[in-house]
Structure 1
Amino acid sequence: MTGDPSTGVLPPSVVALEGVALDPKPLIQTGRNWTRWAGPLVSVLILVVALHQFQGLNPRRLLALMPVSVGFWAAFALYYLAGPISEWIIFRRLWAIPAEGFVALLRKLVSNEILLGYLGEVYFYAWARRTAHITTAPFGAIKDVTILSALVGNGVTLLMVVFALPLMGAVDAGATHWEVGGSILFMLASSLVAMLLRRRLFTLPRRELWIVAAIHLLRIVGTTVLAATMWHLLLPGIALSWWILLGTLRQLVSRLPFLPNKDVVFAGMAAFLIGRDNEIVSAMALMASLILAAHLLVGIVVGATELLRESRAS
C-alpha cells in the first residue's frame, strides 16, 4: 500500500487509515510534485554553501590543533552523530525507516546547521514522502518529534536555570538580567502554550510521545557528557566532574534565545569556576572549528552523493 514515489501522493486507503496523522491537504494534492525537486535543490544549496564556507577555514591551523587521542575522536563522532542516531531510532520505531534514512537525517542536520533552521525538516519531509518504504503520512510524526525536541530542551534548560542563576549573577560575562529573564520567560511561555494546545498540536499516541521525549532526554544528557569528555581529553588537568558541570552550563547558555555572545558568557562562567581562561577559550575555539569542519565535510559528501544519485536515476 505504498503511494507513487514519483509524485509523493498516498492512495486514498492509506490516507483514510492515517486519521489524525493525516498530512495537510496542500501537501498531498495531486500535481504538487515539489517533493521531487526539494531534495536535489537542498543538496545543491548544501554543496554550494559548504564549498564556500570551507574556503574560510584555515586547514593548517586546524591540523595543528588536532588532538591525536583515539578516545577524543570516538567521543567526537558520537557527539556529532547523536542527533541523527536518536532520530533514526525514533523514526525506525514510528515508520520502520530503512537504513538509507540515516543519510537523509545527516542531510537534515547539515541543512539546519549551515543553511537555515528547520529547512532540514522540510527536506526530511520531502524525502519521506517520496520514499516507497514509508507508507504513512509523515507530516504529523515529523512535527511531533520536532516540537518534543524543543519542549524537552526547554524543560532541561529551565531546570538548570534554578541551579545556575546564582552563578550567572556572580559572573560578569556580558549577560544582562533582561536578556536572561526574557529568555526564561520566552521558554516558559512557548512551553506553556505547547502544553495547553497539546491535543491540537500532537498527532502521535500518548505512549509514543513519551518514548520520543525520553529519547530526546537521553540525547541531551548523552551529548552533555560527551562534550565534557572531549574537553577533559583536551585539558586533562581539569577533572571530568568540572567539565560535566561546565557542559551542563554550556547546554543552558546555548538554549537561552535572547542571550548574545553565548560563547563569551560560557567562557566567563568557566573561567570563574576553574580559572585558566586562555586554555578554556582555546578548547572552545577548537571544538567550534571541528564541528564546523564536520558540517562542511558531511555537507559536501551528502550533497554530492544525492546529486549523483539523482543524475543516475534520471
Structure 2
Amino acid sequence: MSQTVTLDAPAPYFPELRAQDRASRLRMAALLPLLFSVIVALAVVLAMHGMNPERIFQLVPASPSFWVVFALFYLAGPFSEWVIFRRLWRLPVGGIVPLLRKLVCNELLFGYLGEAYFYAWARRRQTMMATPFGAIKDVAILSAMAGNGVTLLLVLAMVPLIQASDISLDHSSVLLSLCIVLVTSIAAMFLRRRIFTLPRAELRFILEAHLLRIVVTTVLSAVLWHMALPQVPVTSWLLLSTLRLLVSRLPFVPNKDVAFAGLAVFTLGHETNIAALMTMMASVILLVHVVLGVAIVLTDLVRHITGLTGGSSPRTEPEMPAS
C-alpha cells in the first residue's frame, strides 16, 4: 500500500513559526536599549578619564545667567528636532528624552549612532502607522545639507579674510573641502526624488528648522564666549563663532582646533586667553554629555531591574500617538 505525501502537511506549523519569529524580534528590540546603555556607559568611562571637573568649574563664570544661556545653547539641537518630529509624528513633550539620548550617543560615541538608537526607539512605538526610517533619514540628510549650504556662504564671505591673513589654513585643503561640499550638495539635490521620502512641504519645513538652529547656536555660542571674556565685544565673538562654524564644517582641513586658534588670534589679538576659553567650553559641554550619559545608564538600569523583578516603573519614553 503506497503512502501519499502531502506537501501541505507542514502548514499548520507555520503560524507557530511566525509567532516564534515575532517573539524573537520583540526580545531583540527589548534588548536594544540595554545594549545602547552599555555602550554609553563605556563611553562615559572613557570620557571621564583625565577629566578634572573642579578645574573646569573654576574657569566657568560665576553668573547664573551663563548656565541659562548654556542650557539654551545645549538644548537648541534636540528642541529643533523635537519641533520637526512633532510636526511629522505629533511627538509628545516627553519625546525630548530620546532626542537627548540621540545627542549623547552621537557626541560620546560615533556620528549617526544616535540616529540608529532613535530609529530603534521609534520602531518600538506600536501605534506608529508607517516606518520611521524615511523621516529620520530625510531629517539627517537635510541637516547635513543645511550645514553645507551655510559653509558655502561662509567660505565665499571669508575668502578675503583667509587670503589676507597669516592663519593656519591650507588653501588647497579649503578648496578641496569646498569641492566636496559642493558635490555632495548638488548630488543630493539632483537625486532628491530618489533620496527623500517626505512631501516637499515637510522637507522645506525641516530645512528651515535646521537653518534656524544653526543661526541660534551660532549666536548663543558668541554670547557664552562674551560672558566668559566680557572685555571682548560680542560682535567680535559673533565673527569668531561664524569662523568656528566654517572650520568645523570643512572635511579636509587638518587640525581644525589649531586652524580655529589661528583664526581666533588673528581676529581678537594675542592678548585674549582664547586657548583657556575654548578648553573651558569644550570641557563643560563634554561634562554635560557625561552627566546625561550617566543619567541614561542609571535610568535604563533601574527600569531593567524593575522589569526583571516583575514591578512596574514609570515610562520615561512616551508612546507615539496614532497619526
TM-score normalised by the chain length of structure 1: 0.87
Q: 2:293 aligns with which of 281, 286, 299?
A: 299
The reply to whether residue 169 of structure 1 matches residue 163 of structure 2 is yes
Determine the C-alpha separation between the residues in 2 that align with 1:131 and 1:277.
54
Query: How far did 1:278 drift?
Result: 4.8
Q: Which amino acid aligns with 1:206?
A: R
Indicate whether 1:179 and 2:173 are aligned: yes
What residue is the counterpart of 1:238 in the other structure? Answer: 232
Rounded to whole Å, the distance in 2 between the matches of 1:122 and 1:224 is 27
Q: Which amino acid aligns with 2:179?
A: L
> Equivalents in 1 of 2:241, 2:258: separation in Å?
15
Give the structure 2 partner of residue 119 of structure 1: 113
Identity %: 52
Structure 1 residues 166 and 277 mapped into 2: Cα distance closer, same or farther (>3 Å)?
A: farther
Matched, 1:129 2:116: no
Q: Which amino acid aligns with 1:127?
A: W
Counterpart of 1:191 (choices 185, 199, 202) is 185
**1:192, 1:227 → 2: CA distance?**
30
Q: Which residue of 215, 222, 229 corresponds with 2:223?
A: 229
When structure 1 is superposed on structure 2, of 77-86 and 45-54 the one drifting more is 45-54
Match of 1:203, SS state, is coil
- Cα distance change of structure 1 residues 276 and 133 upon mapping to structure 2, 3 Å threshold: farther
Whole-angstrom distance in 1 between the partners of 2:118 and 2:187: 26
Q: Shift in Å at residue 163 of structure 1? A: 0.9
User: TM-score of the superposition, structure 2-length normalised?
Assistant: 0.85
* Bigger Rg over Cα: 2
Q: Pick the aligned partner of 1:142 from 129, 136, 140.
A: 136
CA distance in 2 between counterparts of 1:172 and 1:45 reads 43
1:160-210, Cα deviation, whole Å (9 max, x unpaired): 111111222233333212211111111111111111110011111100100
* Partner AA of 1:111 in structure 2: C
Deviation string, structure 1 residues 266-287 (Cα, Å, up to 9, x no partner): 1211211220355112111111
Q: What CA distance in whole angstroms lies between the structure 2 residues aligned with 1:108 and 1:311?
A: 23
Q: How far apart are 1:308 and its partner, in Å?
A: 1.9
Inter-partner Cα distance in structure 1 for 2:48 and 2:282: 14
Task: Give distance in 2, aligned partners of 1:100 and 1:312.
Answer: 21
Matched-pair contact (CA < 8 Å) for 2:36–2:117: yes
User: Is 1:268 equivalent to 2:262 in the alignment?
Assistant: yes
Which residue pairs with 1:60 in the alignment? 54
> Which residues of structure 2 form unaligned runs of 5+?
1-20, 309-323
Alpha-carbon separation, structure 1, partners of 2:294 and 2:232: 36
> 1:84 and 1:38, CA in 2 relative to 1: closer, same or farther beyond 3 A?
same
Greater Cα offset, 276-285 or 246-255: 276-285
1:76 Cα offset (Å): 0.8
Q: Which amino acid counterpart does residue 305 of structure 1 have in structure 2? A: T
- Two-structure CA RMSD over aligned residues (Å): 1.6
CA distance in 2, matches of 1:178, 1:200: 33
Please list every run of 5 or more consecutive structure 1 residues that lacks an aligned counterpart in the other structure: 1-28
CA distance in 2, matches of 1:134, 1:238: 50
Paired position in structure 1 for 2:90: 96
1:259 to 239, 253, 274: 253
Distance 2:243 2:230 in 1: 19
